[in-house]
Amino acid sequence: MPPRQAASIIQSPPQPDVESVFYVHPSEGPNSVSIIPKFNGSNYLAWSRSMKHTLGANNKLVFINGVVQQPGALDLNRAACERYNHLIHSWIINLVSESIAQTIVFHDYAYDGSSIRFLNP
């Protein structure tokens, strides 16, 4: 007769908070967002409106409009905030003309420099 073992308790993983701005949906990636038209320097109003709708629909507008600030070095949300900064920065780069993207690529933050001015003139 085999030795008796204590019954193992199987715990289900915690459910993610899909309403959190830090929630990463499996379909979100650098090329997962597409808007028309791409910003080319002369179509700001249409592009800005489309970009705000896209970021709002993805619950990420708060990273651009200043509602979510960069957490301190010891904050547990720092890694998630940095991940979304990179993701949104890549979305912006992919949604502007190549000549504009070449300048934005040198910014470290999606809400820094040209990127934030695009959405909040």
Euclidean distance between CA atoms 73 and 79, whole angstroms: 9
The pair phi, psi for residue 86, each rounded to 5°, is -65, -40
pLDDT (tens place) for every residue of the chain, 121 residues total = 666 665 566 777 677 777 777 777 888 888 888 888 899 999 999 998 998 898 888 888 888 887 777 778 888 888 888 888 888 889 999 999 999 999 888 888 877 544 444 454 4
- Regarding pTM above 0.85, the answer is no
Residue type (1 letter), 57 = A
The pair phi, psi for residue 102, each rounded to 5°, is -65, -25
Which residues 6+ apart lie within 8 Å of 4 measured at CB? none
The ranges assigned to domains in the chain are 44-119
- pLDDT for 2 equals 63
